[in-house]
Amino acid sequence: MMKLKLALATSLFALSAPGHAVEVIWADWETATSTAVTGTLATSTPISIDFSSPSGFGFVQTGAGTNYWTEPNPASRPYTGGVVENAPPAAELIALNLSGPKTITFGEAIAGLYLAIISWNGNAAQFDQPFQVISSGQGYWGSGTITLGDDNTFVGTGEPHGIIYFPGTFSSLTFTDTSNEYWHGLTIGVARLASDPDPDAVPEPATWAMMIAGFGLAGAAMRRRARSRISFA
């Protein structure tokens, strides 16, 4: 019975513990025009991703060129220093230079949206969804800070590099950067499709009841077996 209680306690702890580190599915940017970039996300069923910017771009990397997603200081990792396991892939980058509205659109609803940023020097951005900063540190162009403001905004000071995270499910995300600066860069990643199971989901109450009932039946069976072994010979 003691072993059963320990097994139950261990199971409950595992189910209530924080979620595992995430391997982000980063965008593979493929084509670019003067106002739009398109690519693919290698989710369980690959989907498209589109990034539109009526004000245009400074430049776009589609797999060739300098890898700006480096972490030169092992003690200060802007892209893998939090819950994210993998930095954005080399030379996959959208570099912005003019302020204005930007929209990210997904071919299918996704869950868990990650925005990796590089060198948002003195720039601010306002998003249409709440977010949190999950990592920051020294990157290719130095280091800086991201200060969260009201109404889903952030302000960058110095040369901030890091990842911001948007919980929930999304078919699109819109934001506006406020300064003309050449250049401040980003790329997009997701955790999974919204239609895929959530590995960190907490069991529903009915599921808990079934589990506890199952443990009770197992305990009763163990007690019956223990009684059957008693001998007075």
Q: Is 71 within a domain?
A: yes
Q: Is the pLDDT confidence value at 36 over 70?
A: yes
CA distance 156 to 142: 13
Do you know the residue count of the chain? Answer: 233
Q: Which one of 17-31, 134-148, 199-213 scores highest in mean pLDDT? A: 134-148
Q: Is 233 within a domain?
A: no
Question: What is the pTM assigned to this prediction?
Answer: 0.79
pLDDT of residue 213: 55
pLDDT of residue 63: 96
CA distance 176 to 183: 15
Q: Are residues 206 and 110 in the same domain?
A: no
Q: Is 189 within a domain?
A: yes
pLDDT of residue 67: 97
Q: Is the pLDDT confidence value at 98 over 70?
A: yes
Residues 67-86 have a mean pLDDT of 95
Average pLDDT of the residues of the chain: 85
Tally of domains in the chain: 2
CA distance 53 to 47: 20
Residue 174: CA atoms inside 13 Å, Cβ hemisphere, count? 4
Q: Are residues 103 and 89 in the same domain?
A: yes
pLDDT of residue 150: 87
The DSSP bridge partners found for residue 114 are: 165, 189
Q: Are residues 138 and 101 in the same domain?
A: yes
- Contact partners, residue 36, CB within 8 Å, separation at least 6: 50, 51, 52, 53
Kindly state the tokens that stand for 139. 């990157």
The DSSP bridge partners found for residue 115 are: 164, 188
Q: Are residues 136 and 180 in the same domain?
A: yes
Q: Is the pLDDT confidence value at 10 over 60?
A: no
pLDDT, one tens digit per residue, over 180-225 is 999 999 999 999 999 999 987 655 555 545 555 554 555 555 555 5
pLDDT of residue 216: 56
Domain holding 214, by residue range, is 2-14+202-228
- Going from the C-alpha of 56 to that of each of 91, 105, 187, the distances in angstroms are 19, 16, 15
pLDDT of residue 214: 54
- Contact partners, residue 85, CB within 8 Å, separation at least 6: 21, 22, 23, 24
Q: Are residues 41 and 128 in the same domain?
A: yes
CA distance 87 to 91: 12
Q: Are residues 37 and 144 in the same domain?
A: yes
Structural contact between residues 81 and 21, judged by C-beta atoms closer than 8 angstroms = no
Q: Rounded to an integer, what is the distance from CA 39 to the centroid of its chain?
A: 18
Q: Are residues 24 and 80 in the same domain?
A: yes
Q: Are residues 71 and 6 in the same domain?
A: no
Structural contact between residues 2 and 216, judged by C-beta atoms closer than 8 angstroms = no
pLDDT of residue 229: 45
Q: Is the pLDDT confidence value at 18 over 50?
A: no
Q: Rounded to an integer, what is the distance from CA 162 to the centroid of its chain?
A: 12
Residues 158-177 have a mean pLDDT of 96
Q: Is the pLDDT confidence value at 153 over 70?
A: yes
Q: Are residues 45 and 100 in the same domain?
A: yes
Residues 116-144 have a mean pLDDT of 95
Q: Are residues 175 and 207 in the same domain?
A: no
Structural contact between residues 76 and 116, judged by C-beta atoms closer than 8 angstroms = no
The DSSP bridge partners found for residue 26 are: 189
pLDDT band at residue 50 under the 50/70/90 scheme:
very high
Q: Are residues 24 and 122 in the same domain?
A: yes
Listed range (20-24, 53-57, 97-101) with the worst mean pLDDT: 20-24
Q: Are residues 86 and 189 in the same domain?
A: yes
